[in-house]
Amino acid sequence: MPRPLRLALSLLLGLTFLLVTAPAQAAALVRVVRYDASRAAEFVSVVNQAAQIWNSSVVNVRLVQGTPADFVVYADNGWPRALPTSLGRGTVWIGRQATRQGYSPLRISTHEIGHILGLPDRRTGLCSDLMSGSSAPVSCTNANPSAAERAEVDRNFAGSTPQVEFDRLHVDR
């Protein structure tokens, strides 16, 4: 076989191999983060919905129920808060104080999980910004991260330095 033909064949086989294995390699880059919502009382289904919102919004991380959990979600009578200890790890409290005041439990859950995913509070007051938290009006029920927030989470799980402060309690007041 002539050398140029061998070279072309090798190149073709190499490209074919890359195309076939690329989806498997991309899937391997997704980080699975396990959460335990069993202590979230009346908010269990809302926490599961919030996890699904994140799963449909980002590509570099997947939230799944399971143990051992990377983060645990509790319900209590205080204000909602999160204690991220590292990217994808920590504790979330869905505080009833905010839901009694009329804040959306789904927005709260998605927002607090955002801290676990590396997002800080940003008090923009805009309902379109999930991480604006309680600075948005009580009537705001938007539980979807903005395009910028989605991109930031994907960057965090691709190796960027998260903007959230770890080992610090984030209380959205």
Distances (CA, A) of 122 to 9, 19, 61, 76, 132: 54, 40, 22, 24, 5
Query: Per-residue b/e over 40-49, b at no fewer than 16 CB within 10 Å?
Result: beebbebbbe
Closest CA to 112 of 97, 129, 91: 91
Q: Which of 42, 112, 152, 165 is catalytic?
A: 112
- Check residue 167 and report its DSSP letter: T
Task: Centre a 10 Å sphere on the Cβ of residue 68 and count the other Cβ atoms it contains.
Answer: 6
161 class by beta-carbon count within 10 Å (0-12 exposed, 13-18 middle, 19+ buried) = exposed
Would you give the DSSP letter of residue 127?
T
E strand map for 40-80? 61-65, 71-76
Give yes or no: 112 in active site.
yes
Residues marked active site are found at: 112
